[in-house]
Structure 1
């Protein structure tokens, strides 16, 4: 492997199931050079995805403990790696993160115009790479309950409200996607502080998080409702348990949803269990749903709304503002027996298999 710490780190990040797409002109290396110093990149390239204490890391890599611990703490502060107190061991642990979702999102506090433009160049050249174009999808669209047919049995992982209600801590962040677009001169017209962070089991989890403002459960539910009314799409990690965020997304900023709008079948790139159904007897053809749909999935060729089921991602944004209550989400055909991966580890395992990777050395 190359002696260049950035080349090594890029290679390691691409062995993580999420992937880190490379570019022929080295833009992917410029992104890492902005985030990491050479010393930081060298250490990050040798960390594991599972947590290790500073003592374990320095023993494995034959590095001085005090100096390395200081560097690890600096890297945590800069959002380059994760660091936490293990509840079982009662000790500080450190771990490598995927580039997305992970390192990139943790640059929220550091992002400036230079980095925003660099990321735009990288996104345009890679379009997300293997993160978006291999199964299983990274995002699962979760509708607000009122948009779903009332007689439908909905699993907990299909309900945005349920994810909030069953968490132990809640927080809110500025959306890094919206911040990035604003810094390159393309500001978003939607609300920007809309990223809900969740801690499924730990109370007061965000009290010391500089990027996250702790909020209560009712505030999180209110933010969810306000985001839906504004026309934003609820997305979370495509797993059955352990979700740690709900992104409230738009197609003008979100890296995933922006990619979807450029393809003829947006629903093939995110996981969604539902699809829109129009009651033609109730529909007045007012066009409200057409205006609210960010995916061009609804049109009024004659007197009533018609759904393009290849473009619908089942978010329900159109449903909640329909004045005639002529819209509802129904199960997508063939989805009854399909379940998302059980956990993040299960998701990563399946992603690795599809990509032909063996990330065991990182685990």
Structure 2
């Protein structure tokens, strides 16, 4: 009987654009059991991606708000739902697993959970994340590598997102922390993920390893991460992004999968690609060592060559080239990424492509919907 409530939760989460497919070996149920008690799973079935107050949840399902509210707050602290304050009132939001409750497990990386997550990703969730037409993830190029061009688009400027943010927090990288817990961690900077605005507020309220930083400190962090050879990525949207991560292939679940299984087309490239001047190239291979996507290799003449299919346009190779043989050039028009205007358009595209019944709302859409009800 206990498995029944978890099966209901799996089926409910799979109605979201981001999905939560059934695991062929029961790995989906095993994962959910490490996260939710049966009572929490039942309460999660009452949530919607549109967000509700504790009073509304209790009223619609005949529960006691004095019992339900503490449960909701406890679930928010454990990253099992998203809590957002709109007009000072907490609203509780059903979240997908990726990007969502998985990223909120910073304080709960137990061996049991990590093992269950890894098995489920291999059995079912990996295809959900990487098998869709519209990706949730987008590469952000190194701005310094593009400083000599006038054609860089606003949505490609990391500085813009930071300068426009109302609130910025830096958190431990979930992937590196998880890898360390599994005994396979790398030495890259741990505190390297930026959460913006409502995401920053949620991370702080949930007691995750997070601290508020200034815009100047955030820009310095991005500069240091670039020097360290980390690649920045964010939501696949031009505006209203909620996070900026600085990733490696050593620990990052997304980037390591892309590099290992040649899934370069499943994450949105920057609008740029690497070009190597063979006359200037000294075959030092500094760019090859710097590229985490295996896009560079020696050609027949020993000079470095680039694989267009693997180049993600991040720009790390250019900053590593001592002979200035590398430039970033715009991709041909037919290869330019079609980036959604905002997270709402991204979610709506995913929903239409997968024919899922539940509509995810961006932070802006969520606040607008709730404000319209007041």
Q: Does TM-score exceed 0.5, indicating one fold?
A: yes
TM-score class, shorter-chain normalisation, is over 0.9
Match of residue 183 from structure 2: 185
Match of residue 142 from structure 1: 140
Cα 1:175–1:360 shift into 2, 3 Å: closer
Secondary structure of 1:227's aligned partner:
helix
Cα 1:116–1:264 shift into 2, 3 Å: closer
Cα 1:286–1:203 shift into 2, 3 Å: closer
Q: Offset of 1:330 from its aligned partner?
A: 1.6
Which sits farther off after the overlay, 66-75 or 274-283?
274-283
Q: Offset of 1:184 from its aligned partner?
A: 1.6
Alpha carbons 2:18, 2:350 under 8 Å: kept: yes
Paired with 2:335 and 2:163, the residues of 1 have a C-alpha distance of 25
Q: Offset of 1:172 from its aligned partner?
A: 0.8
Which sits farther off after the overlay, 251-260 or 231-240?
251-260
| TM score, norm. by length of structure 2 | 0.90
Match of residue 214 from structure 2: 216
Q: For residues 284-316 of structure 1, what are the alpha-carbon distances to aligned partners after superposition, in whole Å with 9 as ceiling and x for unaligned?
A: 111100111111100122232110011111111
Match of residue 195 from structure 2: 197
Match of residue 310 from structure 2: 311
Paired with 1:69 and 1:149, the residues of 2 have a C-alpha distance of 51
| TM score, norm. by length of structure 1 | 0.92
Q: For residues 162-186 of structure 1, what are the alpha-carbon distances to aligned partners after superposition, in whole Å with 9 as ceiling and x for unaligned?
A: 2112212111111111111122221
Unaligned residue ranges in structure 2 (runs of 5+) = 367-374
Match of residue 100 from structure 1: 98
Secondary structure of 1:5's aligned partner:
helix
Cα 1:185–1:232 shift into 2, 3 Å: same
Secondary structure of 2:333's aligned partner:
coil
Cα 1:117–1:270 shift into 2, 3 Å: same
Alpha carbons 2:344, 2:360 under 8 Å: kept: no
**Count of aligned pairs:** 359
Q: For residues 189-231 of structure 1, what are the alpha-carbon distances to aligned partners after superposition, in whole Å with 9 as ceiling and x for unaligned?
A: 322221111128x997865452221111111111101111111
Mapping for residues 1-363 of structure 1, pairs under 5 Å: 4-87=4-87, 90-126=88-124, 128-148=126-146, 150-199=148-197, 208-211=205-208, 212-264=210-262, 266-301=264-299, 302-334=301-333, 338-360=337-359
Paired with 2:176 and 2:289, the residues of 1 have a C-alpha distance of 21
**RMSD in angstroms over aligned alpha carbons?**
2.3
Q: For residues 27-79 of structure 1, what are the alpha-carbon distances to aligned partners after superposition, in whole Å with 9 as ceiling and x for unaligned?
A: 11111111110000111122100111111111111111111111111111111
Alpha carbons 1:21, 1:128 under 8 Å: kept: no
Paired with 2:201 and 2:262, the residues of 1 have a C-alpha distance of 43
